[in-house]
Amino acid sequence: MAFFGRHPMLSMALAGLTVAIAYTEIARLFRGYKALKPAELTSLVNQGGALVVDLSAIADFEKGHIPGSRNVIPSQFDPQGKLLAGKQQSPVVLVCRNGMASADAAKKLKKAGFEQVHWLEGGTGAWDAAGLPLVKGRA
């Protein structure tokens, strides 16, 4: 308590950060889509036959992508497109280079009524860092 009395600005900053972290974690729980680690993605693909959609630019996709993933550039990503037709109940995993574009696309899929939406946290960089294989070329 003595600290709070002597350092009111630091105390308010600590309280603000605590609220921000709590809000972020609560929002994460209720957003409707789940972040996956590379090992979790491997398990989901092996068990549930998940569709993996890579939102990287074509050149980046050809430099290295997750085996079995399908490439769609972000500007052409459409939850109603033929790639995702009939997949509303199936697991769909979104991937990009760093995890940012895939998180945004996950929001779109959830709003479009998809039930099992996931995104690879850290993108293909995290996949590669975990020592998992990347396929080169246009598979």
Q: What is the pLDDT of residue 117?
A: 92
pLDDT tens string 15-53: 899 888 887 666 665 666 788 999 999 998 888 778 999
- Reported as a pLDDT band with limits 50, 70 and 90, residue 87 is confident
Pick 24 or 77 by higher pLDDT. Answer: 77
Please say if the pLDDT value at position 6 is more than 90. no
Q: Go through 96-123 and write b for each residue having 16 or more CB atoms within 10 A of its CB, e for each that does not.
A: bbebebbbebbeebbeeebebbbbbbbb
Find all residues with CB under 8 Å of 5, minimum gap 6, and list them: none
**CATH domain 33-129 topology:** Oxidized Rhodanese; domain 1 (3.40.250)
- Reported as a pLDDT band with limits 50, 70 and 90, residue 131 is very high
How far apart (Å, rounded) are the C-alpha atoms in residues 100 and 106? 10
pLDDT tens string 107-124: 889 889 998 999 898 999
pTM: predicted TM-score of the whole model, two decimal places: 0.75
